[in-house]
Amino acid sequence: MPRPIRATISLPALSHNLQVVRRHLEFARQHAKNNNKQEYKAPFVWAVIKANAYGHGLENAVRAFAQADGLALIDLNDAVRCRELGWHKKILMLEGFFEAADLPVLQQYNITSSVHHIDQIHMLEQMPAGNAIDVFLKINTGMNRLGFMPSDAAARFLDLLSLQQQGKLGSIGFMSHFACADGAIGAVDEPVSLMKQAINDLPGAISLCNSAATLRYPQLALSARESWVRPGICLYGASPFDTLHEQAGNFGLLPAMSLKAKLLSVQQIKKGQSVGYGATFTAEHDTRIGVVACGYADGYPRHAPTGTPVIINGIRSRLVGRVSMDMLTVDLDPVPDAREGDWVHLWGSEGPHIDEIAGYAGTISYELMCALAKRVPVEVIE
């Protein structure tokens, strides 16, 4: 009999969240039209599905995000897999290609690549004839990870334009990545200014907005030129922000991943007795304790402290003691009817929001989603 722990992935929730992003962008577009009398084209949407679609499964994401204009990821094998699954629209490699041997694959499967390093341009120069590759020239506007400095953008564009004229490249666009779109209001102003200076009047599509910028600064996705946004975490029902008024539910986002496990045992401990490794929880009064079939080897955060919320039989309770590899313990005093075999909802549609669990554990929901262990059975909700 399988261990009593389950994760569920809701395809309708994923699809719903994509539509939330589209409606958010459309509202901004109509607002600009009504107030500025400026007509903008609707931005295109790359659905970011890197890291196995943030732990939700590549195949699930391809199905759920069927209405996206493109998919964005980092692993070339995953990009090929998307094509094999029937994805015919655009695919973007966010980190580009890593060696010359990748280029024929990009050509064969019509995959778009970012270009962020001079060595990539040299590899493109040596690329054999074949289908032209679309590219996005990545500009470093303050993240200081990948990308050319704004002062080099024009020269690198000319390099790519020469390759385009040779028939090796198709369209040439521009992209950047905000370091602090989820931080203080206005933190994107300087990066936007740098981007404008970098590309000036150079032609091509532009892509700036991640989840945080798409939700907080949708006007940045409005442009006279072709524009793309790259939402990630918000598509999975979590918020990129820490503020109370910018929680996922405030935007209408639905949790797509849920995690639950059954009570294996119920223990009655006396006042002064402790629970679990390190005796980190000591009962202040006689307490009913539930042992749950989930631990850090399943992807639940080991550093979640006493007080981290759980939902049992519709009632909110809390984690007590230290999370171990295969088990965790919860306070059953608020749920007097709880018995062995009852489900404990750890996060998701019937449990606490994953953002809340991440906050208690001192991490972010991205990590929890990506950490879901392979040993956890997954049910896909169509």
Catalytic hit among 196, 260, 277, 300: 277
Helix (H) or strand (E) holding 136: strand 133-138
Q: Are 286 and 330 in contact (CB under 8 A)?
A: no
Virtual torsion, Cα 48, 51, 53, 58, nearest 10 deg: 120
CB proximity list for 21: less than 8 A, separation 6 or greater: 45, 214, 215, 229, 231, 234, 235
Q: 24, 44, 68, 71: which is closest to 219 by C-alpha?
A: 24
Is 40 labeled as catalytic in the residue annotation?
no
Strand partners of residue 70: 46, 90
Strand partners of residue 7: 259, 378
CA distance 186 to 95: 27
State both tokens at 324: 């171990």
Residue 183 CB coordination number (10 Å): 14
Q: How far apart are the first and last CA of the chain?
A: 25
CA distance 63 to 380: 11
Q: 160, 188, 164: which is closest to 176 by C-alpha?
A: 188
Q: Are 257 and 237 in contact (CB under 8 A)?
A: yes
Is 366 labeled as catalytic in the residue annotation?
no
Catalytic hit among 33, 41, 50, 168: 50
Active site residues: 50, 277
